[in-house]
Amino acid sequence: MRVALLSTGSEILQGLYPDTNAQWLAARLDALGFDVVAIRSASDDLEPTLAALGSLSAEADLILTTGGLGPTEDDRLREACAAHWRRPLVHSAELERQIAALFRRRKRPMPSSNRRQALIPRGAEPLPNRWGTAPGFAIPRRRKLPALIALPGPPVEMRPMFERRALPWLRRHLWPGVVRGRTVIHTIGWPEARVNETLADLFDADPQLSVTLLARSGKIDVRLTATAENREAVRSTLTHWRRVVRRRLPRELVWGRDDETLEEIVNRLLVKAGWTIAVAESCTGGLIAQRLTAVPGASRMLRRSVVTYADEAKRRVLGVSDATLRRHGAVSQECVIEMAEGVRRWAGAEIGLAVSGIAGPTGGTPEKPVGLVWIAASTEHETVAERHVIIRRERDAVRLWASDRALDLARRMIKDHSAKSGA
């Protein structure tokens, strides 16, 4: 079943707001077994909306729209749908009663302009909106024209409207008859090209399987999507191919799956090992600690966190020596090792984690370019330091990338300890 998404609103085309509706709907529809074949945006004007509906009608069996159902003069989706499907707009007394009831519950008078929200194309099925004032509507397929579902634009209304109103209508009229499932394998440490080479033969290995690689902040996700006639077949396909992928990739490369985050994995490993952690940050400015503390229960594992941005702070708080800073500088293997060892001793934690780098966009030299980051992790028995040069020069990208690499180093050291101790 081919679905096209149309988001209306000049603010999207002007770059004032991201089109989160289309992103959310595409993921939700894909998971339900529908094939999203096109995503478009149109301004609030009538003619561009009509043109978009016309072009999408040649590509899809269903057009799902968001926005354009408000009470103001620039909300023209109703008129566009009525014209395209050749159905006049008619007034629904029931929808107007529902809109008026919402205003009464909010103890506000209903402006007369809201009456136009009770207009829907003749023969369309109204989709009541208990979360806002803009009802939606659905039109079945007719001759060469696709079906239509029109939903309001605000995400707090659109999402429950899709789940509670659009989905039941789809099940009655257009359910695709297949089940789709997905699993994601998260990796870090290899570039996308190397992961691709390792898994290249899997892309066409099974007609029920789709393999996609997604690169984000230096991490590569291997996304497996299975489509079959029932959930058991989907589950079996995903289980088989997930095992194949895991055998192909080095164990230390894979850090998690599906909705897991790197910080959740680190916290889980700390709990399992019975360890606590302390963090010293320079270029990341507290981002590592922020990510760790986003995980519920992190207070048991995170002993202390400190941002030692200035050299003086590195000396006074962490015990980094004057000689190290003079000879090697703050962004160096020697400095980050002393930072990791210092924060571990200061906090009395089992593992200390430290990062120092040049986040840019200025401050780089030929010897120490923007994007150079040193990270280190220290335990009672060993300290490991790694040098990374991040190609992307945006400051936030460098900081995020560095926090990922630091958390991953902690993950590997904790796992290595657990393997050696048999924990």
In this structure, the answer to whether residues 160 and 207 fall within a common structural domain is no
CATH number of the domain encompassing residue 50 = 3.40.980.10
* Residue 195: both structure tokens together: 């992961």
Residue pair 358/331 in contact by the 8 Å Cβ criterion: yes
Express as a percent the part of the chain with pLDDT over 90. 88
Which of 138, 173, 208 terminates a domain? The answer is 173
Which of 173, 188, 220 terminates a domain? The answer is 173
Residue pair 343/377 in contact by the 8 Å Cβ criterion: no
Residue 410 dihedral angles phi and psi, to the nearest 5°: -60, -45
In this structure, the answer to whether residues 65 and 205 fall within a common structural domain is no
Q: So what's the pLDDT on residue 31? A: 85
CATH number of the domain encompassing residue 368 = 3.90.950.20
Q: How many CB atoms lie within 10 A of CB 110?
A: 17
The whole-number average pLDDT for the span 61-72 is 95
Long-range contacts of 87-92 (CB under 8 A, 24+ apart): 87/121, 87/122, 87/123, 87/124, 87/139, 88/121, 88/122, 89/119, 89/120, 89/121, 89/122, 90/119, 90/120, 90/121, 90/122, 91/115, 91/118, 91/119, 92/118, 92/119, 92/120, 92/126, 92/135
Which of 228, 257, 286 terminates a domain? The answer is 257
In this structure, the answer to whether residues 355 and 389 fall within a common structural domain is yes
Closest CA to 71 of 134, 114, 119, 102: 114
Closest CA to 286 of 300, 274, 302: 302
148-180 in b/e form (b: 16+ CB < 10 A) is bbbbbbbeebbbebbeebbeebbeeebebebbb
In this structure, the answer to whether residues 237 and 302 fall within a common structural domain is no
Report which residue type is found at 53.
L
pLDDT at 40 over 90: yes
The rounded Cα 126 to chain-centroid distance in angstroms is: 32
Report which residue type is found at 353.
L
In this structure, the answer to whether residues 283 and 410 fall within a common structural domain is yes
Specify the number of domains making up the chain: 3
Q: So what's the pLDDT on residue 423? A: 60
In this structure, the answer to whether residues 253 and 282 fall within a common structural domain is no
What's the predicted TM-score (pTM) here? 0.79
Q: Write down the H helix ranges in 254-332.
A: 262-273, 287-293, 311-318, 322-328
pLDDT category, 123, cuts 50, 70, 90?
A: very high
Full domain range(s) for residue 70:
2-173
pLDDT category, 1, cuts 50, 70, 90?
A: confident
In this structure, the answer to whether residues 359 and 210 fall within a common structural domain is no
Q: Cα separation of 252 and 412, whole Å?
A: 7
In this structure, the answer to whether residues 113 and 189 fall within a common structural domain is no
In this structure, the answer to whether residues 129 and 13 fall within a common structural domain is yes
In this structure, the answer to whether residues 358 and 323 fall within a common structural domain is yes
CATH number of the domain encompassing residue 244 = 3.30.70.2860
pLDDT digits (tens, 9 = 90+) for 94-119: 999 999 999 999 999 999 999 999 99
In this structure, the answer to whether residues 169 and 184 fall within a common structural domain is no
| Residue found under tokens 């994995």 | 265
In this structure, the answer to whether residues 158 and 306 fall within a common structural domain is no
